[in-house]
Copies of this chain bind each other. A is one copy, B any other.
């Protein structure tokens, strides 16, 4: 896993290099951070020739460690103008790692981007013209790739939104069965891929073998220990049973469920869109519906689902909390079948469902359609794929949509839509939205997990909470594992070091792991600083500081000066 494949999308030249000593210690998100800082001009235009799209394996990719195999995509974001890493489950990460690849880097940009496939195999890589894939939705694209290159490939692709270089465009992949569509949604990296003229990346590892670990026995032992802690953790069973929608009822109770463009924090139809209801419907309807599925082979949490319509036919897989929040309650829509249909459509046209849901929300606020109008929302998302003027507005993300449609209440920080946690009543996540190099991204440090132990309405201590969560996220995203395995490292931080040492033959302690996470954040912040994302961008939108959020009638009131000092806080070095 020491190869870096560089593809010049203008000249078509492809060459592989072996990564340096330093690069060997980076993976996933940390690889992206350091690569961008070292090689990409921070002031470059995100969709121009100087940006690159990086696909990076995690440090534990293609091992038996549960959830390992998530893959990171990165580049300068067309939404935030800063560094972006978006990671995703599915099979592509494992396949990429099995080919010995630390990273694939798409460089430069063709004069006229057209649909091409980057095919990466055991014996090299090539660019294939693929006019037949032009304008195709994501699932048909991935199905066509599996048909052409075999079912054992791992593939990434963009939908029509990415080809149109719409700033909210996402990158999609599947699980090993090809049923679940998994999406690296945030930050508009699908537009960066589209600007490179790459419709799909295919990893064909059929002939390749799993890389041997430095100490296979130690790795297996540590992986087992991790699994055991996880299975004992109280949240794991809940996640397995109800998936991410398990938190919807909690978020509604806490008053942080975005409702009607973040006007309210509770939704009167919350029950109808809750995790419990989804599970009940899946079980009752039968047919293709499933729950408790893994997205990455071998994951023991297995929190994914296939959501089927009343006739048992798949609507979308997997249906996740954040998408329900943004496409559902945030649009005033309480019909879970309609929400699942919207999610499917966002996936197919290839935009981030969070960004798309938020943009539909501001279109509703602008009066283009009423809150609750599921058919109208469906029409808007369909238009994204068609590239109509209105569709392009929605596909440009919530900040641009709000600007064009003349809406003052825009739920975004650094140009990126907020996920389904209103920061006015979950203040720790507001600090993350404001301060994370990633912009408004719950996966960068979600304070929901602290809500039971620390009053989420209080502004006290939230900055420190955010910092701890941000470091955690940077570590997990660099290992290429799911955020949901954090209970294992909270209980035993050294386990993270043992896994890495067994895999790579290093001599790390947890402090080294933590230093890697901090270095990742530092590199990201430095890139952003040079890109011009300075203190002026580090806050929640104005309305969240002045407009009280029902039911708690709270505003976001964490002091800006206190937030700015976040990076000076010293946390204990042996705590995850």
User: Are A542 and B165 closer than 8 Å at their CB atoms?
Assistant: no
Of B42, B48, B393, B543, the residue contacting A404 (CB under 8 A) is B393
Of B389, B532, B534, B537, the residue contacting A389 (CB under 8 A) is B389
User: Are A541 and B45 closer than 8 Å at their CB atoms?
Assistant: yes
Report if A390 contacts B (CB, 8 A). Answer: yes
Of B42, B45, B166, B541, the residue contacting A408 (CB under 8 A) is B45
Q: Quick one: CB contact mask for A485-498 with B, threshold 8 Å, 1 for yes?
A: 00000000000000
Q: Quick one: CB contact mask for A393-434 with B, threshold 8 Å, 1 for yes?
A: 100100010011110100000000000000000000000000
Report if A559 contacts B (CB, 8 A). Answer: no
The interface residues of chain B lying within 8 Å CB-to-CB of A78 are 403
Interface SS of A by simple majority? loop
CA distance A400 to B397 in the complex (A): 12
Report if A530 contacts B (CB, 8 A). Answer: yes
Of B47, B389, B543, the residue contacting A390 (CB under 8 A) is B389
The interface residues of chain B lying within 8 Å CB-to-CB of A42 are 536
Which chain B residue lies CB-closest to A111?
Answer: B408
Copies in the complex: 2
- Interface pairs A-B: 4 shortest CB-CB: A532-B536, A389-B390, A389-B389, A165-B406
CA distance A532 to B406 in the complex (A): 23
Which chain B residue lies CB-closest to A164?
Answer: B406
The interface residues of chain B lying within 8 Å CB-to-CB of A165 are 406
User: Are B400 and A48 closer than 8 Å at their CB atoms?
Assistant: no
Which chain B residue lies CB-closest to A533?
Answer: B532
CB distance from A1 to the nearest CB of B (A): 34
User: Are A536 and B43 closer than 8 Å at their CB atoms?
Assistant: yes
The interface residues of chain B lying within 8 Å CB-to-CB of A196 are none
CA distance A303 to B45 in the complex (A): 40
Of B404, B531, B533, the residue contacting A392 (CB under 8 A) is B404
Report if A553 contacts B (CB, 8 A). Answer: no
Give me 16 other A-B pairs in contact (C-beta within 8 A), A43-B535, A404-B404, A532-B537 excluded.
A42-B536, A43-B537, A45-B408, A45-B542, A48-B543, A49-B542, A78-B403, A164-B406, A165-B406, A166-B404, A166-B406, A195-B408, A396-B403, A531-B536, A532-B533, A534-B534
Report if A526 contacts B (CB, 8 A). Answer: no
The interface residues of chain B lying within 8 Å CB-to-CB of A408 are 45, 47-48, 109, 195
Q: Quick one: CB contact mask for A159-192 with B, threshold 8 Å, 1 for yes?
A: 0000011110000000000000000000000000
The interface residues of chain B lying within 8 Å CB-to-CB of A250 are none
User: Are A542 and B48 closer than 8 Å at their CB atoms?
Assistant: yes
Report if A50 contacts B (CB, 8 A). Answer: yes
The interface residues of chain B lying within 8 Å CB-to-CB of A13 are none
User: Are A49 and B546 closer than 8 Å at their CB atoms?
Assistant: yes
The interface residues of chain B lying within 8 Å CB-to-CB of A204 are none
Interface residues of A in 12-62 (CB under 8 A from B): 42-45, 47-50
Report if A253 contacts B (CB, 8 A). Answer: no
Which chain B residue lies CB-closest to A363?
Answer: B389
Report if A539 contacts B (CB, 8 A). Answer: yes
Identify the interface centre among A43, A47, A404, A532: most chain B CB within 10 Å of its CB. Answer: A404
Report if A388 contacts B (CB, 8 A). Answer: yes
CA distance A204 to B438 in the complex (A): 52
CA distance A408 to B108 in the complex (A): 13
Q: What are 21 residue pairs bridging A and B, where the CB atoms are less than 8 Å apart in the complex?
A: A42-B536, A43-B536, A43-B539, A45-B542, A47-B406, A47-B408, A50-B542, A78-B403, A109-B408, A195-B408, A392-B393, A392-B404, A392-B405, A393-B393, A393-B404, A396-B404, A530-B536, A532-B533, A532-B534, A532-B535, A532-B537
Identify the interface centre among A43, A49, A390: most chain B CB within 10 Å of its CB. Answer: A43
Which chain B residue lies CB-closest to A391?
Answer: B389
The interface residues of chain B lying within 8 Å CB-to-CB of A393 are 389, 392-393, 404
The interface residues of chain B lying within 8 Å CB-to-CB of A400 are 400, 403-404
The interface residues of chain B lying within 8 Å CB-to-CB of A404 are 166, 392-393, 396, 400, 404
Which chain B residue lies CB-closest to A541?
Answer: B45
The interface residues of chain B lying within 8 Å CB-to-CB of A533 are 532
Identify the interface centre among A167, A195, A389, A543: most chain B CB within 10 Å of its CB. Answer: A389
CB distance from A211 to the nearest CB of B (A): 39
CA distance A368 to B393 in the complex (A): 15
Interface residues of A in 99-120 (CB under 8 A from B): 109
The interface residues of chain B lying within 8 Å CB-to-CB of A392 are 393, 404-406
CA distance A535 to B43 in the complex (A): 9
The interface residues of chain B lying within 8 Å CB-to-CB of A45 are 408, 541-542
The interface residues of chain B lying within 8 Å CB-to-CB of A396 are 403-404
